């Protein structure tokens, strides 16, 4: 069974680069990557916050939030 | 041919978690990951800096530096 990886972003340039380079680099044999655009899908802000996401872009893997560089803080997306 | 990915760290807890979770999640078919401990191998600090690394842990992929959370700034490792 594949592990779910969640990539949260908000369409910012930093986010897009991280998505194309880093989220796309994960092993497709082991991970199923879901891309969540928090600017479009504000209903998922609470879920991201519970996972420990403070800013985007961020990748949640094995229950841990990894903030990748800095695009925008979550509070700016509300 | 595999793309080289460089994971820079300094042995900090944030670094170790990122190494085990994120660096290890890259697709081994496409990437060859080199782990560089900048605390032990200070001769590579300049190389990391040239790649745009400001803090560890960081992953350099396709010439781009991705800072993953925050463990220590590069200046603290000199």
**Residues A10-68: tens digit of each pLDDT:** 999 999 999 999 999 999 999 999 999 999 999 999 999 999 999 999 999 999 999 99
Please give the share of chain B, as a percent, with pLDDT higher than 90: 97
Task: Flag whether the pTM goes above 0.90.
Answer: yes
CB pairs under 8 A between A and B: 51
Whether the CB-CB separation of A4 and A34 falls below 8 Å is answered with yes
Token pair for B60? 């350099």
Q: In which residue ranges of chain B is pLDDT below 50? A: none
Q: Nearest CA of chain B to the CA of A41: how many Å?
A: 24
| ipTM rounded to 2 decimals | 0.91
Interface contact flag, A64 B31, Cβ < 8 Å:
no
Q: Is A66 helix (H, G, I), strand (E, B) or coil?
A: strand
Contact: B21, A64; criterion CB under 8 Å: yes
Contact criterion met (CB < 8 Å) for B68 and A66 = yes
Q: Please tell me if residue A23 touches chain B, with a CB cutoff of 8 Å.
A: no
Per-residue confidence (pLDDT) for residue A52, from 0 to 100:
97
Query: Are B21 and B39 contacting, i.e. CB atoms less than 8 angstroms apart?
Result: no
Half-sphere exposure of B14 (CA within 13 A, CB side): 17
**B57 CB-near residues (< 8 Å, 6+ apart):** B7, B8, B9, B10, B12, B14, B15, B18, B19, B67, B68, B69, B71
Distance from CA of A6 to the nearest CA of B (A): 12
SS3 B64: strand
């Amino acid at each position: 069974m594949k592990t779910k990886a969640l990539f949260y972003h908000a369409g910012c340039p930093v986010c897009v680069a991280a998505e194309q380079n880093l989220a796309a680099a994960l092993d497709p044999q082991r991970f199923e990557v879901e891309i969540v655009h928090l600017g479009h899908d504000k209903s998922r802000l609470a879920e991201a916050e519970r996972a420990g996401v403070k800013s985007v872009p961020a990748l949640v893997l094995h229950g841990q939030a990894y903030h990748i560089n800095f695009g925008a803080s979550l509070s700016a997306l509300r």
